[in-house]
Structures are given as structure tokens and as C-alpha cells.
């Protein structure tokens, strides 16, 4: 999934640095700002006992699928009620059979179709083009069916989150956006015209089953007791909630009141202290001071709103703090969007060994 600040390409680098601090499989790893759960999943697969947290519900869904689960669920109760088809024998797993059923549902004119497709918003004040009409209808049908199955106890909690996670991981492949959901493209990207089909997610990860939290992670500080406390907060003033509001709405499917050109849901209670220059260092200090850990690791970069010297000063009050840097190449669009320019930045990993 395309996600701001995703650390997938840096995981080996982060792991190597933490291993040099004496950390080993079996230790407890707390992913404080879980996002797509890619960091927690990586360490889970390497034998760490992982806990993770994020204020966004769609992140919690991914955490439950990847961190709070190992292997594909059986869907034993659900398969008792699903119609048998000749194609059922072609699929290797129960999970694949369920995905095939969902992919063949007739579309529904639900919340996503009505508010986030050009066809569904015709005649309204805001015409939105996040999805082609039929794909909006497919999302509604799939999400509505998953919810009905859960309400009627045809699927258990793990199966419920795995199926929503499957939808959440699929949606970005068909969304008419440049990267985030704060705006849609004026013209349809060729990939968005294809019929949406759920893509099974990789549930083959091994490792201990962990725990997930859907709260403002700052509320957990006093209760944390871990070997590694890993922080990957926002680096700038852009809040994550409005950038991923559509994934949040699909995950919750709660028919929110929306507004603006992009149809953004309310997010006043999902703002991060790390998006404000005045509160970011205060929040970092509170975490470093209050939480119980052996090693605190903070992922950041050279363009972040917190100054490197101030970060080191803040962390240094509570032990031995160091920063490791690596060149990282990213793409940055120009103002006209006509070209993409490669820009080098420094990805940073601050490591604090508790004194």
C-alpha cells in the first residue's frame, strides 16, 4: 500500500541497527505508530513478540490481520452457507473461495458509490471521481456483505478483520488518486477503469501472535513495558487522517457526515501532536520519560519539523542517544505536476538506550 513514510525499504537497515543494541528474537517490540503494520509484521516474522497501536481504525484492521493473526483463517462456519459452485474446487484455500464469492457479488448503490463516484454524485454540489461508478458499487457490496456476515456470526473476529484488510489493501489499486485521498485526479488513471477484484493478502507470516490497539498511542505511554519502543510519527504538519479518510470510512463503514471537495470525514479526535512544531518535542519528551523500555528507536528524516539537535537533547535526558543516517531517494512533484524530480534526503534512526 502507498502510505506516507512507509518504512518497507528500510526495515533491514532498522533491524540491523537494533540488533547491534543486543536485541534478539523473543524480545518484545512495540510499534507505537503502526500505520500499515509493515514494521510490526517484519519483526513478528523474525520472532519478536509485537504489540502495535494507531489512532486510525483502518490501521487497526491491518494490525489485527497481520499482527494479531498467523495464517489463513478457516472460515468454517461461513462455508456452510455459501453456495457451492464448480469453481470452488479450483481454489487451494477456504480464504480464496470466500474472496471469489465476494468478487462475484452484484454491486450496490451504497455510501461509497453515492458520495465518491462521478456517477453517484451527479446532480450534487460536489462531483467526486475517486472511483469509477461500478467499482464504488463493488466496494459497497463487498463491505456490506462482510458486515452482515459478522453481525450474523458467520465469521469470527479474526476472519472479519482479515476480510476488511483484504478490501483495504485492494482499494488503492483502483483509486483515482496520486497517492493520498485528500484529492482525486481530474482524469481517470487507466488502472482505475479496470473492474475491482479483491486481491488476497499474504497471511503466511510466522511468529508469535501479537496484540493491537486502536487508540491515540499517547494514552498508552504509562502502560508500556517493552524491550524496543519503536516510534515512526508524522514528520510534518500534514495530518494522516484527512489524507486517508476514504480508507477509514471503508474500514468503519459508519456513514459519516462528510464535507468539502474530497468528502472528508470529521477527524478532530484523530490529530497527532507530532504534526505541530510546538507540541512534537513535548510529546517526544513525554514518551521518552514515561514509557518503560530498554531501547527507544525513533524513525525520522532530515526534512522533519523537529530539529536534530533538539531531538538528541530531548532523548539525551533519559540515556545514551545516538542518530544513524542513511541517504534515501524519494520523488517530489513540481508545482505544475508535469515532472517528478528525485530528491535526496537523510532517513534517520535515533536510538536511545535507557540510562
pLDDT tens for each residue of 235-244: 888 888 999 9
More confidently predicted of 5 and 82: 82
- Which residues neighbour 166 within 8 Å (Cβ) at sequence distance 6 or greater? 65, 99, 198, 199, 200, 201
- What is the predicted pLDDT for the residue at 254? 97
Confidence (pTM):
0.92
Kindly provide the residue ranges of all beta strands, DSSP E only, lying in 302-339, ordered along the sequence: 319-333
Chain centre distance of CA 281: 24
Give the span between the Cα atoms of 286 and 274, in whole angstroms: 12
- What is the predicted pLDDT for the residue at 331? 43
Give the span between the Cα atoms of 226 and 133, in whole angstroms: 47
260-308 tens-digit pLDDT: 999 999 999 999 999 998 899 999 999 999 999 999 999 999 889 999 9
Chain centre distance of CA 276: 21
Q: Is the dihedral of CA 333, 234, 311, 32 positive or negative?
A: negative
34-63 tens-digit pLDDT: 999 999 999 999 999 999 999 999 999 999
Q: Which of 107, 115, 108, 78 is nearest to 94 (CA)?
A: 78
135-181 tens-digit pLDDT: 999 999 999 999 999 999 999 999 999 999 999 999 999 999 998 99
Residue 284 cell numbers, joined: 517526544
Give the highest mean pLDDT range of 3-7, 142-146, 333-337. 142-146
Give the span between the Cα atoms of 83 and 80, in whole angstroms: 8
Judge contact between 97 and 287, C-beta under 8 A.
no
- What is the predicted pLDDT for the residue at 333? 36
Instruction: Say if residue 1's pLDDT is above 80.
Output: no
For domain 9-70+205-232+296-355, say whether CATH 3.40.50.150 is its number.
yes
**Alpha helix positions (H), the chain:** 11-19, 38-45, 57-66, 76-79, 94-103, 111-116, 133-151, 157-170, 240-243, 245-252, 277-290, 308-316
Q: Start-end ranges of CATH 3.40.50.150 in the chain?
A: 9-70+205-232+296-355
Instruction: Name the band, by pLDDT with cuts 50, 70 and 90, for residue 89.
Output: low
Amino acid at each position: 500500500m502507498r502510505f506516507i513514510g512507509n518504512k518497507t525499504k528500510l526495515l533491514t537497515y532498522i533491524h540491523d541497527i537494533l540488533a547491534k543494541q543486543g536485541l534478539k528474537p523473543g524480545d518484545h517490540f512495540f510499534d507505537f505508530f503502526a500505520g500499515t503494520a509493515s514494521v510490526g509484521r517484519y519483526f513478528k516474522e523474525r520472532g519478536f513478540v509485537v504489540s502495535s497501536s494507531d489512532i486510525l481504525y483502518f490501521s487497526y484492521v491491518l494490525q489485527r490481520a497481520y499482527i494479531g493473526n498467523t495464517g489463513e483463517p478457516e472460515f468454517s462456519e461461513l462455508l456452510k452457507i455459501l453456495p457451492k459452485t464448480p469453481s470452488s474446487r479450483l481454489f487451494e484455500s477456504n480464504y480464496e473461495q470466500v474472496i471469489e464469492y465476494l468478487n462475484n457479488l452484484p454491486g450496490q448503490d451504497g455510501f461509497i458509490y453515492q458520495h465518491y463516484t462521478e456517477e453517484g454524485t451527479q446532480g450534487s454540489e460536489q462531483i467526486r471521481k475517486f472511483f469509477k461508478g461500478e467499482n464504488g458499487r463493488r466496494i459497497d457490496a463487498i463491505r456490506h456483505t462482510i458486515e452482515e456476515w459478522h453481525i450474523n456470526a458467520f465469521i469470527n473476529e479474526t476472519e472479519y478483520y482479515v476480510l476488511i484488510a483484504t478490501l483495504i489493501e485492494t482499494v488503492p489499486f483502483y483509486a483515482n488518486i496520486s497517492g493520498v485521498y485528500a484529492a482525486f485526479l481530474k482524469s481517470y488513471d487507466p488502472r482505475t477503469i479496470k473492474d475491482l477484484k479483491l486481491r488476497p493478502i499474504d497471511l503466511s507470516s510466522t511468529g508469535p501472535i501479537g496484540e493491537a490497539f486502536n487508540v491515540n498511542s499517547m494514552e498508552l505511554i504509562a502502560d508500556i513495558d517493552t524491550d524496543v519502543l519503536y516510534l515512526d510519527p508524522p514528520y510534518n504538519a500534514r495530518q494522516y487522517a484527512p489524507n486517508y479518510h476514504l480508507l477509514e470510512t471503508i474500514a468503519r463503514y459508519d456513514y459519516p457526515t462528510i464535507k468539502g471537495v474530497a468528502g472528508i470525514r470529521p477527524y478532530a479526535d484523530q490529530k497527532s501532536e507530532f504534526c505541530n512544531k510546538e507540541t512534537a518535542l513535548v510529546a517526544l519528551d513525554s514518551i521518552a520519560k514515561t514509557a518503560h523500555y530498554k531501547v527507544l528507536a525513533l524513525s525520522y528524516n532530515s526534512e522533519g519539523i523537529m530539529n536534530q539537535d533538539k531531538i538528541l537533547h530531548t532523548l539525551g535526558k533519559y540515556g545514551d542517544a545516538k542518530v544513524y543516517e542513511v541517504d534515501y531517494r524519494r520523488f517530489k512533484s513540481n508545482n505544475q505536476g508535469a515532472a517528478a524530480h528525485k530528491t535526496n534526503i537523510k532517513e534517520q534512526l535515533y536510538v536511545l538506550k535507557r540510562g
